[in-house]
């Protein structure tokens, strides 16, 4: 089959960027990596990319393919083009990291963030003579996260990192879960405290981009959500993120639907007047546009707060849903 590639090029020595186009003759089952290697080996020796294992375990060949981060070795050409030989595949280096040359990016910021989460087991107490005795479910759960090959795809396409370089970003937070969720680790609470700070778990917008682009099913955002749940359960709630969740949940449990008016004061803190004041001009504009729901001016939980019909039945569901909670995994003797 014919494969057409349009590859973004960066030559750091000449300081120029541009695109190269390649038309290659490949077998029908070729991956994008096969095509790129063929281009590099037989058409253009100056094309730089990283690759090694060809089977999605080394994490070298992450790049943007038609605007989304993917592993080139896991991207079958035919699946990208739908069999349309005229589809020109756009290949670019990953985002959110500086380019060294062509498709090779500098991953140092990625690793700095990984190191920020204290990425090593910190056991509590003496190390046992044999193995730790822990439930298989816990190990299986962590194995999904250990599936991460540090390719950087999630970091490349993270929508928060685009606007804030301080965000620890999905890969490192998933790595953090691998320890916080490890029953053998003895520093869970300290980890969760650190992760609840600025740039940590609460700065994720939950856009699912990392879940979408992760080639290994790690679903980093879902790990971030697990960390949020663990942090709240550990009582680390003196932060905007945890308060936001609390007031949100309270408003649903109280009235069935979201009370939008009280989300800001409930999240930033009732007495955080400077922060509340920043919202005032916006609130006035909303009021003028008829977008400030006056039925919600009474805070959730207070007498006279707005309630949906049939709230007693909802409250029953809230109470009973506690029995759905799974058991926590621990080391046993």
Partner 1 sequence: MAMKYAFWPGCVSKGAAPELYIATNRVARELGIELVELDQATCTGAGVIQEQNPELGDALNARTFAMAQQLGLPLMNICSTCQGIESMVQDKLAKNPEYLAKVNEILAEEGLHYEPGLEVKNFLWILVEDFGLDNLKKAVKRPLTGARIGPFYGCYILRPSQLLGKEEHPDRDHYLEMVIEAVGATAVDYEGAKKCCGFPILTINRENSLKQAGNHVHEAQDLGADALVSPCPLCHLNLDAQQPAAKSVTHFDIELPIIHLPQMIGLALGIDPKEMRMDHHVVSTKKLLDKLAQPVPA
Partner 2 sequence: MAVYEHDVLVIGGGLAGMRAAIAAQQLGADVAMVSKVHPVRSHSNAAQGGINGPGVGEDGGPWEEHAFETTKASDYLGDQDAITVLAQDGGGEVLQMEHWGVVFSRKPDGRMAVRRFGGMGKARTFFVGAITGQAILHVLYEQLMHPARFQAMRMYEEWFVTSLIVDDGQCRGCVALNIRTGELHAITAKATIVCTGGLGRVYEPSTNALICTGDGIAQAYRVGAPIMDMEMVQIHPTTLKGTGVLITEGARGEGAYLLNKDGERFMQKYAPNMMELASRDVVSRAEQTEIDEGRDVDGCVFLDMRHLGEQLIKERLEEIYEIARDLVNIDIAKELLPILPGVHYIMGGIKTDVDGLTPVPGLYSAGEAACVSVHGANRVGANSLLDTLVFGRRAAEHAVPWLKGKVFRPIPESVVEKDRAMIRGILDRPMDGDRVARIRRDMGVSMSANVGIFRTPERLNKQVEELKALRARYEKVGVEHKGKVFNTDLLFHLELGYMLDCAEMITKSAIERKESRGAHTRLDYPDRNDAEWLKHIVLTKQPDGSEKMSYLPVTITQWQPQERKY
Residues forming contacts to partner 2 in the complex (CB under 8 A) are 11-13, 29, 31, 40-42, 44-46, 48-60, 74, 76, 100-102, 104, 107, 114-115, 119-121, 123, 127-128, 130-136, 139-140, 142-143, 146-150, 179, 182, 184-185, 332
Q: What is the 3-state secondary structure (H, E, C) of 58-101?
A: CCCCEEEECCEEEEHHHCEHHHHHCCCCCCEEEEECCCCCCEEE
Report the distance separating Cα 234 and Cα 242, nearest Å: 11
Question: 204 near 169, Cβ under 8 Å?
Answer: no
Q: Which residues are bridge partners to 7 per DSSP?
A: 20, 91
Q: Strand (E) positions, the chain? A: 2-11, 16-25, 62-65, 68-71, 88-92, 99-101, 104-105
Nearer to partner 1 among residue 18 and residue 310 (C-beta):
310
Q: Which residues are bridge partners to 16 per DSSP?
A: 11
Stretch that binds partner 1, among 40-48, 116-124, 173-181, 307-315 (CB under 8 A): 307-315
Helix axes 169-180, 220-233, angle to 10 degrees: 50
> Does residue number 67 form part of the binding site for partner 1 (CB under 8 A)?
yes
CB of 246 to partner 1, least distance (A): 7
Question: 170 near 155, Cβ under 8 Å?
Answer: yes
Of positions 123, 293, 307, 329, contacts partner 1 by CB under 8 A? 293
CB of 58 to partner 1, least distance (A): 24
> Does residue number 84 form part of the binding site for partner 1 (CB under 8 A)?
no
> Does residue number 245 form part of the binding site for partner 1 (CB under 8 A)?
yes
Report the distance separating Cα 72 and Cα 55, nearest Å: 10
Question: 138 near 327, Cβ under 8 Å?
Answer: no
Of positions 134, 252, 298, 329, contacts partner 1 by CB under 8 A? 252
Of positions 281, 304, 327, 332, contacts partner 1 by CB under 8 A? 281
Q: Which does 235 bind (CB under 5 to 8 A by kind): partner 2, partner 1, none?
A: none
Phi and psi at residue 8, to the nearest 5°: -75, 130
> Does residue number 128 form part of the binding site for partner 1 (CB under 8 A)?
no
Of positions 321, 327, 332, 333, contacts partner 1 by CB under 8 A? 321
Q: Which does 134 bind (CB under 5 to 8 A by kind): partner 2, partner 1, none?
A: partner 2
Of positions 58, 138, 258, 329, contacts partner 1 by CB under 8 A? 258
Q: Which does 120 bind (CB under 5 to 8 A by kind): partner 2, partner 1, none?
A: partner 2
Question: 308 near 257, Cβ under 8 Å?
Answer: yes
Of positions 2, 133, 257, 328, contacts partner 1 by CB under 8 A? 257
SS3 138: helix
Q: Which does 245 bind (CB under 5 to 8 A by kind): partner 1, partner 2, none?
A: partner 1
Which residues lie below 8 Å from residue 138, measured CB to CB, with a gap of 6+?
181, 182, 183, 329
Which residues lie below 8 Å from residue 80, measured CB to CB, with a gap of 6+?
32, 65, 66, 87, 89
User: CA-CA distances (angstroms) from residue 56 to 23, 31, 75, 118, 297?
Assistant: 25, 12, 10, 26, 53
> Does residue number 238 form part of the binding site for partner 1 (CB under 8 A)?
no
CB of 10 to partner 2, least distance (A): 10
What are the residues binding partner 1 (CB under 8 A)? 67, 159-160, 162-164, 167, 198, 202-209, 211-212, 219, 225, 228-229, 232, 240-241, 244-246, 248-249, 252, 256-260, 263-264, 267-268, 278, 281-282, 285-286, 289-293, 295-296, 308-310, 313-314, 316-318, 320-325
């Amino acid at each position: 089959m014919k494969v057409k590639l349009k590859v973004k090029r960066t030559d750091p020595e000449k300081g120029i960027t541009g695109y190269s186009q390649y038309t290659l003759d490949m077998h029908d089952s070729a991956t994008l990596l096969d095509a790129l290697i063929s281009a590099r080996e037989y058409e253009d020796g100056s094309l730089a990319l990283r690759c090694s294992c060809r089977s999605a375990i080394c994490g070298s060949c992450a790049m943007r393919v038609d605007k989304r981060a993917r592993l080139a070795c896991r991207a079958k050409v035919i699946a990208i083009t739908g069999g349309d030989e005229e589809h020109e595949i756009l290949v670019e280096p990953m985002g959110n990291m500086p380019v060294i040359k062509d498709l090779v990016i500098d991953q140092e910021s990625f690793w700095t963030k990984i190191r920020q989460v204290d990425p090593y087991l910190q056991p509590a107490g003496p190390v046992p003579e044999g193995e730790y005795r822990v439930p298989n479910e816990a190990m299986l759960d962590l194995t999904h996260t250990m599936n991460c090959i540090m390719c950087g795809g999630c970091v490349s396409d993270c929508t928060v990192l685009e606007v804030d370089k301080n965000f620890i970003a999905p890969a490192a937070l998933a790595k953090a879960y691998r320890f916080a969720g490890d029953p053998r680790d003895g520093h869970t609470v300290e980890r969760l405290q650190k992760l609840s700070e600025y740039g940590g778990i609460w700065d994720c917008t939950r856009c699912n981009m990392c879940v979408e682009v992760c080639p290994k099913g790690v679903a980093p955002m879902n790990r971030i959500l697990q960390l949020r749940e663990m942090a709240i359960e550990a009582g680390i709630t003196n932060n905007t993120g945890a308060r936001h969740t609390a007031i949100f949940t309270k408003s649903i449990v109280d009235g069935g639907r979201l009370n939008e008016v009280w989300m800001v004061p409930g999240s930033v803190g009732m007495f955080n007047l400077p922060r509340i004041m920043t919202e005032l001009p916006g609130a006035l504009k909303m009021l003028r546009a008829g977008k400030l729901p006056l039925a919600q001016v009474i805070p959730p939980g207070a007498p006279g707060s707005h309630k949906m019909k049939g709230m007693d039945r909802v409250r029953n569901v809230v109470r009973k849903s506690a029995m759905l909670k799974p058991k926590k995994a621990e080391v046993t003797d």
